[in-house]
Amino acid sequence: MTHDIYDALVVLGGSTARQSEALIGIADSAAHAFRKGLTPSIIATGCCHHTLDIFPGRTEAQCLRDLLMARDVPSGNIFTEERSADLLGRCLFSQQEILIPCAWYHLLVLCPGAVTKDLRDGIEALFTDDFSIEWLDSEVAISETHRLDLEDISQRALPERQQIDLAVPRLVTAKGAPVAGSDC
């Protein structure tokens, strides 16, 4: 039996709580996909959510990277996007900083809680037409901040919100957060 091999698994979800049920579930699902040979590369996304006042000390992407390495995913196969403060930012910055420069267009996407066709269509619309996207189904728990992001994407698809500029992600506002372009 053969299966597709994707350029990368993009993880669109996380938590700044290093040992949260949500983040552990995401790490387990992503590491399992890696070990099955579905992809040679995993992209962990997220700095910290726009609702946080104080930076928790490590980005969401760093926390996920550590959990993936503890699950025997080599560090050289893990890439981090650490600018985003919401789901929109995770999609946009992962494209700008990693996917397009690496010419990775055949994607497997893990986004806990994105189970409906409308929600997945809304997330796929945040990627350019150059990308081929398949979904990695996972029934892991989601953090409260990720739930808010999914709700925001759902509302953006409503007719009365179609005028919102989807190209502008929210900014990280937490005190002590790394500055974009600096080493995190």
Computed over every residue of the chain, the mean pLDDT equals 84
Reply yes or no on domain 8-161 having CATH 3.90.79.10: no
Gyration radius from the chain CA atoms: 15
Q: How confident is the model at residue 19 (pLDDT cuts 50, 70, 90)?
A: confident
Tens digits of per-residue pLDDT, 40-73?
999 999 887 666 656 667 788 988 999 999 999 9
Distance CA 163, CA 134 (A): 28
The answer on pLDDT for 167 being more than 60 is no
Angle at 56 between CA 182 and CA 155, to 5 degrees: 90
Host H or E run for residue 101: helix 100-102
pTM of the model: 0.86
Sequence ranges of the domains in the chain: 8-161
The answer on pLDDT for 166 being more than 80 is no
Q: What share of the chain is helix, strand, coil (3-state, %, to 5)?
A: 40, 10, 50
- Phi-psi region at 104: left, alpha or beta (left = phi > 0; alpha = psi -120 to 50): beta
Tens digits of per-residue pLDDT, 83-132?
888 898 899 999 999 999 999 999 999 999 999 898 899 899 889 899 99
Asked whether the beta carbons of 45 and 112 are under 8 A apart, the reply is: no
